[in-house]
Amino acid sequence: MQRQPLADYEFWFVVGSQFLYGKETLDQVAAHAQIMVQRMNASGLLPCKLVYKATVKTPEEIEQCVKEANYNDACAGLITWMHTFSPSKMWIRGLEILQKPYCHLHTQFNRTIPDTEIDMDFMNLNQSAHGDREHAFIAARMHTKRKIITGFWEDEPVLAKLGSWMRSAVGAIESRKLKVVRFGDNMRNVAVTEGDKVGVQMQLGWQVNTWGVGDLIRELESVTEAEVDAQMQGYQSRYEFATKDLETVRYQAREQVAMRRFLQREGAYAYTNTFEDLQQMRQLPGLASQDLMAEGYGYGGEGDWKVSAMTSLVKRMTEGMDGGTTFMEDYTYHLEKGNELSLGAHMLEICPSITTEKAKIEVHELGIGGKEPPARLVFEGHQGSAILASLVDMGGRVRLIVNEIEVVKPIYRMPNLPVARVMWKPQPDLNQASHLWMLAGGAHHAVLSYDATAEMLEDWCEIMGIEFVHINNQTTVSSMKQQLFLADLAWKLQ
């Protein structure tokens, strides 16, 4: 099953008004809306197409528009704007049945007040300042989840926020369709990789199911040499071979072909495995999993289906951006006073989308699992601002924890460390960030993304109706304790 490209999603621009103002004014409203849509699409800042859908003037028109949006698979959300005054009781039924993400754009067609031309005709047409307040009230009164963006519609910060929210909205749509394949079960006795799969499917839409490793082995046995040759050609075009052990690399290619086939047949874009459950497989998939992540699949080590799903969704939300997103794990620290850093890595499975160098294929012993030395990609993550995101099951609800970080060039060469690696400074600093992360229950597995932002993931959480915890330079231990205490109370009341 092929995914719909992110750019093929559309968002409907729905403008509120009423018949009170007459045909001439309503024609102007529609003309202005079409100009706005054309220019916003031409800005290059929106990842999806904005479509002027209608100027709605009655409860019936609003309800019909929402019904059409709900059942149109190409529509990923509604963006509303009140050019004139639109009495908000008209919107109640529409908002009651709305199932798509919803953004309220508070702007106006004209940037400035025309000093000598302004008259009552102008005032009747340009009523966004109070028309949008009326619209916002009914959404607040109904506790309707929505994103509010304010500012002039042609300004870059406004368009950037709108573009970011579009990505969050697509993430919400894709979340409802996401399937996760678990090859085997979780690593034994690990707590954070567990979770309520039924509850998550009800809330986030994820279908998380398990297949025996024997099913994957049968798929492996059916892979042809021609398929392996084609996968090897892909490796040769993308990576540097720093090994002569081509048979080991070919086995990884065979694993990748088999896993891709399996995932495509099931319509899944995320998967897990664990080194404790490989049965007759000769190697833990390393290079195979890394290259599958580069194709857009989500991965979670040790059976961690939550981080696998989040990796897939963040990759989906940031489609078309070039910073990179990967599965990640905090591995060890550099605790030099005043220059504290975290070294992130994993046994094998870090996505090469986060490097600007040509990754090297190497073969080394794994040290655990008792299998043959696997081939893997070795590289450094590039420098830049990024986020770490961890979705955890708190019992009855899930929580997404996001920490803003700054990735730095590793301060050591580490020539004997045969894995991909990333080094970063978390906000506010390593000691505080670790304290805050652990207070919130953050996992040792996370998604690292240079493209997603805290705001993008917060918007996704709001659409999905889950808890969001943000760690940045302004976060303190005392504020975090208070936030978590109040959140526990609030979520228990829901």
Neighbouring-strand partners of residue 300: 272
Q: Check: CB of residue 300 under 8 Å from CB of residue 270.
A: yes
Tell me the three state secondary structure of residue 485. Answer: helix
| Cα–Cα nearest to 95, from 129, 141, 54, 52 | 141
| Residue 104 among known ligand-binding residues | no
**Dihedral of the alpha carbons of 239, 310, 381, 475, in degrees to the nearest 10:** 180
Q: Which residues contact 368 (CB under 8 A, 6 or more apart)?
A: 275, 347
Q: Which amino acid is at 394?
A: M
**Dihedral of the alpha carbons of 45, 46, 52, 57, in degrees to the nearest 10:** -90
Q: Check: CB of residue 193 under 8 Å from CB of residue 302.
A: yes
What does the DSSP assignment read for 70-134? HT-TTEEEEEEEESS---GGGGHHHHHH--S-EEEEE--S-SS--TTT--HHHHHH--HHHHHHH
Q: Check: CB of residue 54 under 8 Å from CB of residue 34.
A: no
Type and span of the H or E element at 157: helix 156-175
SS3 content of the chain, % helix, strand, coil (to 5): 40, 20, 35
| Residue 302 among known ligand-binding residues | yes
**What is the token pair recorded at 299?**
């991965």
Q: Is the dihedral of CA 326, 332, 336, 338 positive or negative?
A: positive
Q: Check: CB of residue 286 under 8 Å from CB of residue 197.
A: no
Type and span of the H or E element at 150: strand 147-150
Q: Rg of the Cα trace of the chain? A: 25
Alpha carbon 67 to its chain centroid, in Å, reads: 26
In this structure, what are the phi and psi dihedrals at residue 445, rounded to the nearest 5 degrees? -100, 145
Helix locations, 3-91, DSSP H: 23-42, 59-70
Numbered residues of the known binding site: 302, 329, 346, 445
Numbered residues of the known binding site for Mn(2+): 302, 329, 346, 445
